[in-house]
Amino acid sequence: AQKVTQAQTEISVVEKEDVTLDCVYETRDTTYYLFWYKQPPSGELVFLIRRNSFDEQNEISGRYSWNFQKSTSSFNFTITASQVVDSAVYFCALSEAGGYQKVTFGTGTKLQVIP
């Protein structure tokens, strides 16, 4: 069975601080996909990134970066120089091979960036 754990329920940081959101996953599949989604106060989930299990390269996109480590089954998300607009709930998710099957979501981490 698949499982995604986001141990941090809520995090508060002051604007311009860096923050890392943790994600640990469990799966028996050798091929799987990992995702991060952002859910701002408006409620609509916004896709941020999709990684497959064969690609452990870290990825950077602007102020966002992701650290995928199969050895620890983790897929952590770092926001550098946080901004108030980053305030949202962030979900880590996992799906089976192909990524078109059901996606298992973590319970989310609520990030509050204080000006």
Residue with tokens 């940081």: 13
C-alpha to C-alpha distance for 79 and 72, rounded to whole angstroms? 21
Q: Could you tell me the CA-to-CA distances from 103 to 16, 17, 86 in Å, in that order?
A: 32, 31, 24
Q: Could you tell me the CA-to-CA distances from 66 to 29, 78, 115 in Å, in that order?
A: 21, 6, 24
Our finding on whether 69 is near other proteins (CB under 8 A) is no
Among 42, 57, 61, 71, binds other proteins (CB under 8 A): 42
Q: Checking DSSP bridges between strand 74-79 and strand 19-21, what pairing results, if any?
A: antiparallel
Our finding on whether 101 is near other proteins (CB under 8 A) is yes
Our finding on whether 103 is near other proteins (CB under 8 A) is yes
Among 12, 14, 29, 50, binds other proteins (CB under 8 A): 50
Among 23, 106, 111, 113, binds other proteins (CB under 8 A): 106
Our finding on whether 70 is near other proteins (CB under 8 A) is no
Q: Which residues bind to other proteins, rule: CB under 8 A?
A: 4, 6, 35, 37, 42-47, 49-50, 91, 93, 100-108
